[in-house]
Structure 1
């Protein structure tokens, strides 16, 4: 045999093309790679989301970051949303711990992260300095020996966490529960051995020829733990050899509350505290290592005195690793299995799949944060549902309705956009939508139905209306059968446009809505459903409400002046179209020379005004580099320029607005004067001659 080099190790599968054995594919802990030359060269694994995560948690950074450890790779912390158009390599970094780590970012300083790995190794990493520190509970290295030589037995994936009630209290689980209140400087044991402590499970691993004691094979240790946030001092642990314990006095005393009927060595993989019921908890366990693929999910409401098995609806071979209770809706549960996601609306009595667009993959852990649900998959990286509102709000009444608009979650007003070009979607993650998320459904939808989503201020002032019938792409509402999602970018309407408009560096984006409460109404045919929603300030900003209001008022004023300028252009060109139309009809006829000369002179004077307002030579994107921009473009650029960030306008910006607005007012007044005089004279003379030169829509300004 000859060794073949590959980009990664720990190979799982090898496929050789039966028709051409120079083509082969491998799957390993790095991902998948392909060779077309019998293994001489391989494709990269850096183009696929195939990370194998064990656990998932988040920190209190804004935006929050997601943490996890990858099998045979680094630990990761990654933004759940970025200021760019996507989530790319610049938005993640390695953090504390090793490939099998539980991670615990400090609640008050997310730059401090604790992470574990096998053999009981634990470290603290300070991202602000780059320094790391060993914080092992007991710094003895047991390499090459069985777990029986260890003072404290730590699992390959031993749990660590900060207390939800005390930011200075850090827990770690071996076969005992340990606590530190000084950042790992010292540790206190606050429990007896909480495992079966069976000598047969802690012997040296491997054999009979060679031993294999890497630390991955240590058993009889705590594998899951949780502390109640509604009952300080209530702590739960679950061991990998089948025991569940609870303490109601901060670890002074413990009760064995293992569910009756649970398999002898059921690995207690996840414990979640009931969000409102004191004494309540949920448990996910698995015995897959013994060939038992049965799902084991339990719940208790009496501190574990009694447990109920809650797996109805989950296939009998979908073994379970994670269960989490929704923080908003009592009885709404989420479960992760070896073959995907499940949801229950009745506290676990019945389950149904929640796969959506998630690939069929193993779910190792789940985490709820800010009304999102994050899944740590073992093979397809992190996935997130970014708004749980529909799952929390659905009920029989809503389900029976013909259409419904769900209550939107609060939306942060924050800077988020993209750079030049489109990202390679194979190399980036999907960003959190930048705007207000509207989830709605329309049953029995057809294109004949008119569907509108109207957004307005609470006093009824209209902001935007989106419709499936709109011809304007910017106000188009795409609707399909049943579930729909629409993201409003929080912007008011932009300025009025005209055909052939070319502006320099002045995108037509309306002002952003200021933080506050707004109203949305979904109308299907003539039936309405309304919801109020919140736009929330980016908590990193020092801005006052007055700052937002000043910027908004300024931008609205500029927008309206640009619209006024463009309406003048539209009016001028409409009048010109009428003049041109009748000039062609009348130029061959006798007796109309005078009125045609008057119309030509009017057009000439209007052209001067038109070109003062807008550079008419600008016909393509590059033309503004050759010809000086005019009043409308100067104002439009001011509008774009003053939307950089969330700041009130500078003094000079307001001075410039007033100055250029005065220039526009002069041109508008000149146009109005022409309409009142020259245009009126042309129409009066035309009526005397039996013709209507200018459209009736100008009568309101033509009449004396």
Structure 2
């Protein structure tokens, strides 16, 4: 099978949503009030240069992990930034990092400077006067023991590291603070924690608080001394006051004496200043404390709510933030009104001490679990966003030019799990909403978009919070599966330890399977401890996690469990067969089962063991209904664990896989894999879907992405790669009318703005590979390329220009494009690189001739959008012409008869041609008139000739005046001049081209009226050029001078 050419760089697009995800690390530039940074839990590092109006990712292309745990900007040199990868908010969906990254140019470029096996980093502290002296609090592996954890110090900017504080291979540093008044003083919190598939533990004998007074050379444990609690401790947050020497706070999870402690003598003595449980609820997830930089009595705590104390920590008041679940805070050392705060909804900035905050609806860092699509046009992508809600996002917003937040809608309140849409009615959506909905049990929702109502339809609505799995009737995974049958949409399936079916949209339920899990009693534990239990219902174990029905056979069901079992039913759930294999490791978390769309007995499986500290990819295939299996992971690195596998429904053996970092593709049924990333950022890919000709990625940190048009992957073979040139058969192209104001705005350097009347979005412009401009939206998703995607492969870069010609069904040329040649200066061109190329034809006919120069009174002569029908694409390379048919399909929402659309195109072409005819003649006229004006000046010593030149120039100008007023250089002049004939004719174009209808009753007569007047003017100009100009040239010739050339 062929390998993807190195030149193949898939062009993914982010459709949003621009609603932020979890942020656990924030920082600011103390020398620039507009510059801030945040680190997304699985979305990389972002920077704003306008105080949070817009954000831009600065880690893409440099980082090899998406998870960020800490950010620090050097106060002495803000060009120096250190980032600790691997978040330390150890949820069940935590992603690992690969060490410390450093930038010395304010985030433009980065390099990894070590501690790669630390995986999760809690904090970074930089010496206030020396940017090369840096400390790192490394938590270490979240799912097992390792040695690279504790506090590390570098004295040479990260070139080398020394472990200056280490407790054990099961406890790492979670917090670290440096005293800016005396940077030799440091406080560090060591935390013993571990998370498995079925449990998480916060606390143990190796937890403690430490201080150093010599820059980390030596450390003193403070636990259990001088008023600081001892015994069994959990997570500890620590803060040093820059405003009051000696003042230190510690927020302590403790079995005996939890609360907020304060020392006013650098830890020599401690007092409990607050026992308020609201400050340290769910301590393993929060326990974040920050001292104010100007006031020694002011301290902040990030917890479920955001708290502030102004009396040294004795009492607290809540500060409202745009989102709850708060994690990090940076306070400007010079201005304590300037803050940036990170929470589960993104990063927000305040310039008034928290009174108001910037928006989180400009950050495409949403974390999705599972995704699906509907059958609308355009189709919508659905997903459950962690710590927000379930959403429906259009794949295209044809009427907006971009995909702003206003184009999306909330489809239920699910923040977890699967989401399913009835294939025959996109208004009915089923949502898993554990953690974000009442209703008990699995919090299953039926959302009706017509009514805008959510009905709770849990099969057995008992609460799961804080429960032992053995104590509940049903065990529901945080991401339990929901399946609506494609064969019979009345069959709704869900998975707990059983498979349940409803045939009345959730009104009633039937168990159709026995327990399909191992149900190992040792895994039936109440998650959390040894101090506090975790009651969030996210750790329920021994559940069905993957559920699928064959697209070829109704009732052929597959069920995979999170503890490694796989079952098959071939009779709609009446009986089940255990087809678990010893090819995969015990307790594999089976996350996806994908039945083949070509053979009923073929099935693919994706699983992971990352929570067992095993990061290998696990993909398997069976071709005999699960009787035998083979692993199919060749080409995927052994650290890039897998969550999803999907089969292409058009090309047999074409597979897609989503891993912790990217998307892979196999062209040989899993025998080998290759990266399919292109411009897709490094990000955990939790789900993939193939919809028509598109591949959709549901990421857990960068929202939704779509790879438009899988044509090259479906048609690529050895013959294509061996040929000098190959033209792929384009997919049918939907003819969608551009929005009337779609091209408004733009042209300025830097940020531009686009008002869609109801919406307002920002963008920057960049050049495409075909020489045109595209808009990169800063707070809105991107629509699909407008037009036909034409793919072709060149074995090598051609020596001469290549051409691409579009002809209609009668062989008439519609448009033609060429690659760059020796005479190319600017404008659109055909890419001609060795390897795979893509060209986007906007479906328009070629433009007519335009007026040369930059005269503001000139109008264009645009070609219209081609009518629906069959066309031919002709690619000419080195004397060889390759052809493929191209079908333009009418937008399904349009009911206009074909004859009306053809009449619309015909009239628009007539306008284009009439304008082009006039422009061609006027270009000659302008050239002649310029020469005549020049002759009039040069012939000052021959008044009769000078006068003849000036008079002829004026006649030409007067004859041109009814068509257009020449030489206008300002918009004021254009407005004062009023509309001329060509401007009036050009104004007819948007009237005709605004929608998919035939010409109005007055359009053709009005065109005829204008065309007749234009023809009269053109005849006058022709007469001047053909009669009077030769007469003047004869005068010049008689005088022994040159001639005026048109």
Between the aligned partners of 1:575 and 1:342, the Cα distance in structure 2 is: 62
| Aligned mate of 1:430, from 782, 789, 793 | 782
Whether 2:444 is the aligned partner of 1:122: answer yes
> CA 1:561/1:362 → structure 2, altered by over 3 Å: closer, same or farther?
same
Whether 2:915 is the aligned partner of 1:562: answer yes
Kept in 2: contact 1:295–1:314 (CA 8 A): yes
The within-5 A match list for 1:448-597 is 449-467=800-818, 468-469=820-821, 471=824, 473-480=826-833, 482-500=835-853, 502=855, 508-577=861-930, 579=932, 588=941, 593=944
Kept in 1: contact 2:693–2:708 (CA 8 A): yes
How big is the shift at 1:661?
A: 1.0
Between the aligned partners of 1:21 and 1:600, the Cα distance in structure 2 is: 72
TM-score by length of 2: 0.61
Between the aligned partners of 2:942 and 2:651, the Cα distance in structure 1 is: 80
Between the aligned partners of 2:476 and 2:894, the Cα distance in structure 1 is: 43
How big is the shift at 1:122?
A: 1.0
Between the aligned partners of 1:209 and 1:567, the Cα distance in structure 2 is: 84
Whether 2:659 is the aligned partner of 1:337: answer yes
> CA 1:186/1:459 → structure 2, altered by over 3 Å: closer, same or farther?
same
Between the aligned partners of 1:383 and 1:452, the Cα distance in structure 2 is: 32
How big is the shift at 1:283?
A: 0.6
Whether 2:388 is the aligned partner of 1:91: answer no
Q: Bigger CA drift: 360-369 or 286-295?
A: 286-295
| Aligned mate of 1:49, from 364, 372, 382 | 364
Between the aligned partners of 2:833 and 2:352, the Cα distance in structure 1 is: 47
Helix, strand or coil at the partner of 1:622: helix
Residue 387 of structure 1: aligned partner: 709
Q: Bigger CA drift: 203-212 or 176-185?
A: 203-212
How big is the shift at 1:112?
A: 2.1
| Aligned mate of 1:616, from 945, 955, 966 | 966
How big is the shift at 1:604?
A: 4.5
Gaps of 5+ in 1: 698-704
How big is the shift at 1:565?
A: 2.0
How big is the shift at 1:169?
A: 2.4
> CA 1:504/1:255 → structure 2, altered by over 3 Å: closer, same or farther?
farther
Residue 286 of structure 1: aligned partner: 608
Aligned length: 692
Between the aligned partners of 1:360 and 1:18, the Cα distance in structure 2 is: 33
Helix, strand or coil at the partner of 1:390: helix
The within-5 A match list for 1:339-418 is 339-416=661-738, 417-418=742-743
Helix, strand or coil at the partner of 1:60: coil
Kept in 2: contact 1:413–1:536 (CA 8 A): yes
Helix, strand or coil at the partner of 2:506: coil
Between the aligned partners of 2:697 and 2:406, the Cα distance in structure 1 is: 22
Whether 2:487 is the aligned partner of 1:165: answer yes
Helix, strand or coil at the partner of 1:648: coil
Between the aligned partners of 2:895 and 2:1020, the Cα distance in structure 1 is: 45
Between the aligned partners of 1:273 and 1:204, the Cα distance in structure 2 is: 35
> CA 1:288/1:601 → structure 2, altered by over 3 Å: closer, same or farther?
closer
The within-5 A match list for 1:647-658 is 647-658=997-1008
Between the aligned partners of 2:466 and 2:413, the Cα distance in structure 1 is: 21
Whether 2:462 is the aligned partner of 1:110: answer no
Between the aligned partners of 2:779 and 2:725, the Cα distance in structure 1 is: 37
Between the aligned partners of 1:45 and 1:464, the Cα distance in structure 2 is: 44
Kept in 2: contact 1:505–1:637 (CA 8 A): no
Kept in 2: contact 1:238–1:269 (CA 8 A): yes
How big is the shift at 1:577?
A: 4.7
Residue 769 of structure 2: aligned partner: none
Instruction: Compare the two structures and name the one with the higher helix fraction.
Output: 1
Helix, strand or coil at the partner of 2:621: strand
| Aligned mate of 1:69, from 361, 365, 384 | 384
Residue 295 of structure 1: aligned partner: 617
> CA 1:653/1:221 → structure 2, altered by over 3 Å: closer, same or farther?
same
RCO comparison, higher one (Cα < 8 Å, 6+): 2
> CA 1:201/1:17 → structure 2, altered by over 3 Å: closer, same or farther?
farther
How big is the shift at 1:680?
A: 5.8
Between the aligned partners of 1:683 and 1:40, the Cα distance in structure 2 is: 79
Instruction: Compare the two structures and name the one with the higher strand fraction.
Output: 2
Write the deviation string for residues 425-471 of structure 1: whole angstroms up to 9, x where unpaired.
4322232111122334445538x642333322243322222222364
Q: Bigger CA drift: 36-45 or 166-175?
A: 36-45
Residue 4 of structure 1: aligned partner: 301
> CA 1:198/1:14 → structure 2, altered by over 3 Å: closer, same or farther?
farther
Between the aligned partners of 2:942 and 2:613, the Cα distance in structure 1 is: 100
Residue 141 of structure 1: aligned partner: 463
The within-5 A match list for 1:321-336 is 321-336=643-658
Helix, strand or coil at the partner of 1:315: coil
Whether 2:570 is the aligned partner of 1:220: answer no
Helix, strand or coil at the partner of 1:613: coil
Between the aligned partners of 1:321 and 1:17, the Cα distance in structure 2 is: 41
Kept in 2: contact 1:503–1:633 (CA 8 A): no
Between the aligned partners of 1:473 and 1:450, the Cα distance in structure 2 is: 15
Q: Bigger CA drift: 13-22 or 145-154?
A: 13-22
How big is the shift at 1:299?
A: 0.9
TM-score by length of 1: 0.89
Q: Bigger CA drift: 139-148 or 14-23?
A: 14-23
Kept in 2: contact 1:96–1:103 (CA 8 A): no
Kept in 2: contact 1:142–1:149 (CA 8 A): no
Gaps of 5+ in 2: 1-249, 251-298, 307-320, 435-440, 747-751, 753-761, 764-776
How big is the shift at 1:644?
A: 0.6
How big is the shift at 1:124?
A: 1.5
Q: Bigger CA drift: 670-679 or 459-468?
A: 670-679
